[in-house]
Amino acid sequence: MSTAPIFVVCRNSPEVTALLGTNPTRLFPFGQAPQDVVKPYAVWQVIGGSPENYLAGRPDTDAFTLQVDVYADSGSTASAVGDAIRHAIELDAYTTNYNGDDRDKETGNYRHSFDIDWLVTR
Long-range contacts of 18-25 (CB under 8 A, 24+ apart): 18/84, 19/77, 19/80, 19/81, 19/84, 20/81, 20/84
Domain that holds residue 28: 6-121
| 80 belongs to a structural domain | yes
- 22-73 pLDDT tens trace: 999 999 999 999 999 999 999 999 999 999 999 999 999 999 999 999 999 9
Global confidence as pTM: 0.93
pLDDT tops 80 at residue 1: no
Any idea what the CATH number is for the domain that residue 52 is in? 3.30.2000.30
pLDDT band at 82 (very low <50, low <70, confident <90, very high): very high
| 33 belongs to a structural domain | yes
| 1 belongs to a structural domain | no
| 85 belongs to a structural domain | yes
- What does the pLDDT read at residue 2? 75
Percent of the chain with pLDDT over 70: 99
| 83 belongs to a structural domain | yes
Number of domains in the chain: 1
